[in-house]
Amino acid sequence: MLELCVCIGSSCHIKGSYNVIQTFQQLIEEEALHDKITFKSSFCQKQCQHPGVAVSVDGIIHQVSTEKAKEFFITQVITKV
Ligand code: FES
C-alpha cells in the first residue's frame, strides 16, 4: 500500500493544495487505485519555503504545483503502486 499525503497547511493551501487533492482523487477514481493507495492529508510538513504544495509519497516529500499535479501522479505515484 502506497501512502500519498498532501499538505493542507496554510502555505500549501494558498499554493493550491485543494486543487492537487482534487486532481489526485480524480485519478485514483479513474485508475481504480483505492485499494493500492492510502490517500491522506497533513498539516504543515515544514516545507513552506519551497514553491509548490508539499506532497509525500511513502514519506519522501516532493513539491507539486497545481499545473503539474496530474503529471506528478502519473510519473511518481502510478509507477510505484
Ligand atoms: S504548509 Fe505545507 S509545508 Fe508548510
User: Domains of the chain: which residue ranges?
Assistant: 2-80
Distance 63 CA to ligand 1 centre (A): 10
Indicate whether residue 6 lines ligand 1 (CB < 6 A). no
* pLDDT tens-place string over residues 56-79: 999 999 999 999 999 999 999 999
Q: What is the pLDDT of residue 51?
A: 94
Q: What is the average pLDDT across 26-38?
A: 97
20 neighbors 6 (Cβ within 8 angstroms): yes
If DSSP codes are grouped into helix, strand and coil, which group holds residue 25?
helix
Indicate whether residue 45 lines ligand 1 (CB < 6 A). yes
Q: What is the pLDDT of residue 21?
A: 98
Q: What is the pLDDT of residue 20?
A: 98
Q: What is the pLDDT of residue 80?
A: 95
Q: What is the pLDDT of residue 79?
A: 96
Distance 6 CA to ligand 1 centre (A): 9
2-80 placed in CATH 3.40.30.10: yes
38 neighbors 4 (Cβ within 8 angstroms): yes
| Residue in this structure with the C-alpha cell 485499494, named with its chain if needed | 35
Distance 11 CA to ligand 1 centre (A): 5
If DSSP codes are grouped into helix, strand and coil, which group holds residue 2?
strand
If DSSP codes are grouped into helix, strand and coil, which group holds residue 34?
coil
